Amino acid sequence: MFKKAIVVLVALLLSSCSAEMIRSDKNYVYYEIFVGSFYDTNDDGMGDLDGVTEKLEYLNDLGIGGLWLMPIHPSPTYHKYDVIDYEAIDPKYGTMQDFEELIAKADEYNIEIIIDLVLNHSSSEHPWFIEAKKNVLNGTCENENSYCDYYVFTTTPQGKYYAIGKGFYYEALFWDKMPDLNLDNPEVRNEIKDILQFWLDKGVKGFRLDAVTSFYNQNVTKNTEFLEWLDETIESIDPEAYVVGEAWTTNSSITALYQSGIDSLFQFSLSQADGLIASSIRAKSGNKLANEVIKYNDMIKSANPESLNAVFISNHDQGRSAGYFKSSQVEFQKLMASIYILMPGRSFVYYGEEIALRGSGKDENKRLPMIWDNEDNTGKTLGPSAADYVGEEAIGVKQQIADKNSLYNHYKQLIRIKNKYDVITDGNLESLDLNDNVYALRSYSDTEEVIVIHNLSDTEITIEYDFAEYKIDEQVFNLSQTKAKITSSSLVISPYNTVVLIKK
């Protein structure tokens, strides 16, 4: 259940802020950060928490209201999805004091922070697993604090189980270095509750839950039951905490998972080069896309009326969205952004997406260094050591800020619009059948009404409709700087452009 009341927050014009920012806590646009590749403050080649703190002004100016930090816990890998200590900071990223300072500074900007929480498995180097394996092999699981029941051990060889010797095997769905936790064990659940309490007390505003379909290996019923327990536990600690889950699965499974009461699940069908957004742009099928948006939102609302869709076009597990089209097709990059930022639900931007950062192939190549300035490498990280992506470098943040027609400034305008209207995020929805090439979605509540219109075609379109009660409030230009024209019965919109209508 989405817990927050609709409260309009007016950010203070702080001496450290570049602009006054007005955001509702309901429609925050989130920004996903792989800390190790974001910004390096101590010249060791590794991005760090201080780097995130240093760039809060940048993020605030972009209009970002929330940060999702990929795993920050101690881990033997670069990606850190195998946790050694759930209540600590990886030394490569900094200290707990650095994290506390980040939280405090983010609060000044009214930017909330959620952290990745990996509960399906731990690292094989976690003290729990080391102790459990020792006791299983020694036959001393009856000892107090043996941790044997923290994991899933068996004497029957089977798929996704790995040998530890003496005929024993342990479950590890993803990798032998990631042993699966036994989430049925009350002691494990008590550990999880302590972990949740620890980070919420530190000031995080919620969690991104990793691999929720794997908690019980694609068992939808048990996964939903565990999510319900987890969501209720989080809410008991902080009723306003925000929880979003990763569930790369079918719509029927998504519907069941929403019945847990979780706030959001990522809609994976929107993302990737062959996803709904990119393919709709290629097919110029705006109306069909709008109808799919309605259908999906109706589906999740039927399972949980308070649900809030989590929309995105790429993340750390997928090829960068800049690669969905040719680098010369900036109009399509901008149109993608226009569509998903102004879509119902909470929009998530993957770091660097706003400057068309590229990267594809193995995971390391999808988490490359952020490009802050093409002429100055201050703060630039080395990125994952195994990365081998060879491609053109993105135009840096500094250069794009100076270019009023840049992708960065396009994102900035879109995020400002999303921040302006709660109703775009969580209003009642209706698709308008205006033209096959036109995406038109009406969002409305008792107090507000907005129509978002995108022209997905390469030609100017005249739309015939009863616009007598509406006026153009916002225009987002793309290839053409030609302003839209509205009369009581028609709207003329240029190729790839966007208009936002409100009632007069």
Per-residue 3-state assignment (H helix, E strand, C coil) for 98-130: HHHHHHHHHHHCCCEEEEEECCCECCCCCHHHH
Active site residue 20: no
Q: Using one digit for the tens of pLDDT, what is the confidence trace for 191-229?
A: 999 999 999 999 999 999 999 999 999 999 999 999 999
Structural domains of the chain ordered from first start: 127-171 (no CATH), 427-503 (2.60.40.1180)
Active site residue 210: yes
- Which one, of 382, 379, 399, lies nearest residue 51 by Cα? 379
Give the pair of three-digit tokens for residue 214.
Answer: 């794997």
Q: Using one digit for the tens of pLDDT, what is the confidence trace for 244-292?
A: 999 999 999 999 999 999 999 999 999 999 999 999 999 999 999 999 9
- Residue identified by tokens 């001393």 is 140
40, 98, 210, 426: which is the annotated catalytic residue? Answer: 210
Q: Which residues pair with 452 in a beta bridge?
A: 441, 500
- Which one, of 193, 298, 267, lies nearest residue 235 by Cα? 193
Give the pair of three-digit tokens for residue 149.
Answer: 């029941």
| 28: confidence class by pLDDT, cuts 50, 70, 90 | confident
Q: Using one digit for the tens of pLDDT, what is the confidence trace for 340-384?
A: 999 999 999 999 999 999 999 999 999 999 999 999 999 999 999
pTM for the model stands at: 0.95
Q: Using one digit for the tens of pLDDT, what is the confidence trace for 399-439?
A: 999 999 999 999 999 999 999 999 999 999 999 999 999 99
246, 354, 364, 474: which is the annotated catalytic residue? Answer: 246
